[in-house]
Chains A and B, each alone.
Chain A
Amino acid sequence: MSATALRIALVGNPNCGKTALFNLLTGGRQKVANYAGVTIERKEGRFTTPSGRVLQILDLPGTYSFDANSPDEQITRDVLEGNYPGEAAPDLIVCVADATNLRLHLRFVLEVKRLGRPVVLALNMMDAARRRGIVIDVPELQRRLGIPVVETVAVKRGGAAALVERVDGDMPVAAAASLDDGPSRANLHVQVRELLAATVSMPRQTAELDDALDRWALHPVFGLLILGVVMFLVFQAVYAAGKPMTDLIGDGFGWLGDHAAASLPVGPIKSLVVDGLFGGIGTVIGFLPEILVLFFFILLLEESGYLPRAAFLLDRLMMSVGLTGRSFIPLLSSFACAIPGIMGTRSIQDPRDRLATILVAPLMTCSARLPVYALLIGAFIPMHHVLGIFNLQGLVLFALYAAGILGAMAVGWVIKRIHRDKSEHALLMELPSYRMPKPRDIAIGLWERASIFLKRLTGVILALTIIMWAISTFPGPPAGATGPAIDYSIAGYMGHYLQYIFAPLGFNWQISLSLIPAFAARETAVAALATVYAVGGDSDTVGLAHALAANFSVASALSLMVWFAFAPQCMSTLAVIRRETHSWRNVAISFGYMFVVAYVASLLTYQIARLFA
């Protein structure tokens, strides 16, 4: 807005700490993680310097060169060259470079310098560089480059002090533009070599720790074994650690509900509060611990630098089903939610690989499905121990996640068959240094997730729950009616009608009905079931699991879980697919195939399970 704000863009190679620096300066909470391609959009924030100067700061996707390959890198290039719609080129470019990897990062600095705009170089990760005994002669580097050079540590409070001081002072002079393109571009590496020889001393090319860990993590046999164990333990932990907390919250809400019930007069308001709010919302909120445990592990993995290793190990396998190692991280984020997962595919350069990843991402079990699974598993799967250490409930959960993954592989394979092309698909993926996750970052990440969940809960899920309560309560039964009151309500009619479609899958009318709000937000299925059963009088506030166990066969429960594993994703996911692929056709394909797969898989599950029951 204000014409006076100095506009500063943060650029650099991927994973050099631009976003960490952005967050440090602006107090922002943009996503920081230890792999290339985290930031995929232009983000902006404000920062006021000690002298009162207002700066507008832009965080941009990382890029290796101006020869932009992928959609996210294109954004960076457009912004820097002043071609981004509605935005002039920035007043000052802060080029961020990883001080532990200058051989790669300095080349981009030189490329940026050639734009002929004011540039400051921030040598980031100076803490890690010092730990590794890397010595950089900053004054000499500054002299040779002809631009100001400052040291920063983006993950430490006050770590950007030198940079702040610099931008608060006089504007750095613009580096001379060099316009001859061809030869000097190839020359950049020669210049980098000279710069390094004159200004940097490195005792070792790589961190010893990385080499030692990679010997195991990337070992053809142990590497895969470690990957399997890590993934399996995460799912066991989600169940083992989340469940007791869920029960505690459930009990708490039951107690509150009982108190509310005792203090409210009989009537629609009491029914709304007890059945709708405590019954519906209370049940969903109980699953927050499971979701947080899952996120805890995802954040840990993201920050450690292990994810690109997993992508390396799985690349060949994923390639055989029409995906790429690069799909691994977007797909893993889809376990949290398909929406960031689908947006994360922007870092996949190959259009076919990207589309395939987008189409299968919703098959990854997102955290919104966790409440549904947890509820059904708790109600129908006995708490056995298998082989002494694994619990059966955890195993079933693992199997459901595995079903999604196998489904994705099958779908990817089919896409590959249909979409035959001979062109080559590149991997070209950088593996970062390992880093110790900081408890504070993890805590902030979890807090962020918890508040998103609570916002959803008090927004869309609450609204849908109230609607579900209303349609299950009204209209009341006509005078002299004999059946249960709920059969005469709108919900009763709709449910019975839907049951024609879903009866072959073993769904009763209550379940069939709950699938509608689930399309807006998955967790709502739980709230809706809780409400419908509570209004119908089959359940007290916390007894949903019992109500289900009494009304529902194991075969139906399994079938419902399978339905949720494959069924068309929520509306917001479809909207994101439309936005990212600019095509309604892809939305239709994605919805259509998932509906068919889910229907057939549930049908088979139900019919087969019935034979054994």
Chain B
Amino acid sequence: MRLSDLPKGAPAVVDRVDDAHAADPIAQRLRDLGFVDGEPVRVVAIGPVGADPLLIQIGSTRFALRRTEAARVTVRQEAA
């Protein structure tokens, strides 16, 4: 499942980040920021207009990502 489709508040873990095109700097930066396999993530807030951007909690950090950015991240939802 993509991070951009994850419901608000649902716990999940990162699977991988895909390059949207060759040498995608945004994907590389996401990996640098800790979006790597096995890292727990959660959507904590959703922007007021067009449900964009998303506020993502990863570790102790909160990042605002646009949907297009979040779509690069594939997540696994943990069994509830």
The answer to whether the Cβ of A428 comes within 8 Å of any Cβ in the partner chain is yes
A315 contacts across to B, CB distance below 8 A:
47, 52-53, 64, 66
Q: A218-B55, A312-B53, A315-B52 are in contact. Are A67 and B28 (CB under 8 A)?
A: yes
Q: Interface residues of A toward B: which range? A: 35 or more
**Closest A residue by C-beta to B46:** A220
B64 contacts across to A, CB distance below 8 A:
308, 311-312, 315, 325, 427-431
The answer to whether the Cβ of A316 comes within 8 Å of any Cβ in the partner chain is yes
The answer to whether the Cβ of B45 comes within 8 Å of any Cβ in the partner chain is yes
B20 contacts across to A, CB distance below 8 A:
424
Are B45 and A218 touching (Cβ within 8 A)? yes
Contact partner of B57 (CB less than 8 A), chosen from A64, A102, A205, A312, is A205
Once the chains are docked, how many angstroms separate the CA of A385 from the CA of B67?
45
The answer to whether the Cβ of B26 comes within 8 Å of any Cβ in the partner chain is yes
> Measured between C-beta atoms, what is the minimum distance from A435 to chain B in Å?
14
The answer to whether the Cβ of B6 comes within 8 Å of any Cβ in the partner chain is no
Q: A202-B60, A311-B64, A428-B26 are in contact. Are A65 and B50 (CB under 8 A)?
A: no
Q: For residues 303 through 324 of chain A, which have their beta carbon under 8 Å from a beta carbon of chain B?
A: 308, 311-313, 315-317
Are A316 and B52 touching (Cβ within 8 A)? yes
| 0/1 string, B22-61, CB within 8 A of A gives 1 | 0001101111111010010000111111101101010111
Are B60 and A214 touching (Cβ within 8 A)? no
The answer to whether the Cβ of A107 comes within 8 Å of any Cβ in the partner chain is yes
A325 contacts across to B, CB distance below 8 A:
53, 64
**Which of A102, A325, A424 has the most C-beta atoms of chain B within 10 angstroms of its own C-beta?**
A424
Contact partner of B29 (CB less than 8 A), chosen from A69, A103, A219, A311, is A69
**Which of B20, B34, B52 has the most C-beta atoms of chain A within 10 angstroms of its own C-beta?**
B34
> Measured between C-beta atoms, what is the minimum distance from B53 to chain A in Å?
5
The answer to whether the Cβ of A100 comes within 8 Å of any Cβ in the partner chain is yes
B28 contacts across to A, CB distance below 8 A:
67
B30 contacts across to A, CB distance below 8 A:
428
Are A103 and B60 touching (Cβ within 8 A)? yes
B34 contacts across to A, CB distance below 8 A:
103-104, 107, 189
| 0/1 string, A188-202, CB within 8 A of B gives 1 | 010000000000001
Contact partner of B59 (CB less than 8 A), chosen from A205, A211, A312, A317, is A205
Q: Interface residues of B toward A: which range? A: 20 to 34
The answer to whether the Cβ of A101 comes within 8 Å of any Cβ in the partner chain is yes
Once the chains are docked, how many angstroms separate the CA of A221 from the CA of B49?
10
> Measured between C-beta atoms, what is the minimum distance from A348 to chain B in Å?
14
Q: A107-B32, A189-B34, A424-B68 are in contact. Are A221 and B63 (CB under 8 A)?
A: no
A504 contacts across to B, CB distance below 8 A:
none
Are A431 and B48 touching (Cβ within 8 A)? no
| 0/1 string, A209-221, CB within 8 A of B gives 1 | 0110010001111
> Measured between C-beta atoms, what is the minimum distance from A516 to chain B in Å?
43
A104 contacts across to B, CB distance below 8 A:
33-34, 59-61
Are B48 and A101 touching (Cβ within 8 A)? no
Once the chains are docked, how many angstroms separate the CA of A210 from the CA of B45?
12
B68 contacts across to A, CB distance below 8 A:
424
Q: A426-B69, A428-B63 are in contact. Are A312 and B55 (CB under 8 A)?
A: yes
Q: For residues 205 through 242 of chain A, which have their beta carbon under 8 Å from a beta carbon of chain B?
A: 205-206, 210-211, 214, 218-221, 223-224
Contact partner of B60 (CB less than 8 A), chosen from A205, A224, A313, A428, is A205
Q: A316-B52, A427-B66, A428-B69 are in contact. Are A69 and B47 (CB under 8 A)?
A: no
A189 contacts across to B, CB distance below 8 A:
34, 36, 39
| 0/1 string, A429-447, CB within 8 A of B gives 1 | 1110000000000000000
| 0/1 string, A316-342, CB within 8 A of B gives 1 | 110000000100000000000000000
| 0/1 string, A97-125, CB within 8 A of B gives 1 | 00011111001000000000000000000
> Measured between C-beta atoms, what is the minimum distance from B46 to chain A in Å?
7
Are B48 and A223 touching (Cβ within 8 A)? yes
Are B61 and A430 touching (Cβ within 8 A)? yes
A224 contacts across to B, CB distance below 8 A:
48
Are A316 and B60 touching (Cβ within 8 A)? no
Q: A107-B34, A206-B57 are in contact. Are A313 and B48 (CB under 8 A)?
A: yes
Are B52 and A428 touching (Cβ within 8 A)? no
Are A430 and B52 touching (Cβ within 8 A)? no
B26 contacts across to A, CB distance below 8 A:
424, 426, 428
> Measured between C-beta atoms, what is the minimum distance from B59 to chain A in Å?
4
Q: A214-B44, A317-B49 are in contact. Are A101 and B25 (CB under 8 A)?
A: no
B39 contacts across to A, CB distance below 8 A:
189
Q: A218-B45, A325-B53, A431-B55 are in contact. Are A64 and B33 (CB under 8 A)?
A: yes
What are 28 A-to-B residue pairs whose CB atoms are below 8 Å? A64-B29, A64-B32, A65-B29, A69-B25, A101-B59, A101-B61, A104-B61, A186-B31, A189-B36, A205-B57, A206-B57, A221-B48, A224-B48, A315-B53, A315-B64, A316-B47, A316-B50, A316-B53, A317-B49, A424-B20, A424-B26, A426-B29, A428-B26, A428-B29, A428-B30, A428-B33, A429-B63, A431-B62
Given A315-B66, A424-B68, 14 more A-B residue pairs with CB atoms under 8 Å apart are: A103-B59, A189-B36, A189-B39, A214-B44, A218-B44, A219-B45, A220-B47, A308-B64, A311-B64, A313-B47, A315-B64, A325-B64, A426-B69, A428-B33
Residues of A within 8 A of B (CB): 64-65, 67, 69, 100-104, 107, 186, 189, 202, 205-206, 210-211, 214, 218-221, 223-224, 308, 311-313, 315-317, 325, 424, 426-431
Residues of B within 8 A of A (CB): 20, 25-26, 28-34, 36, 39, 44-50, 52-53, 55, 57, 59-66, 68-69
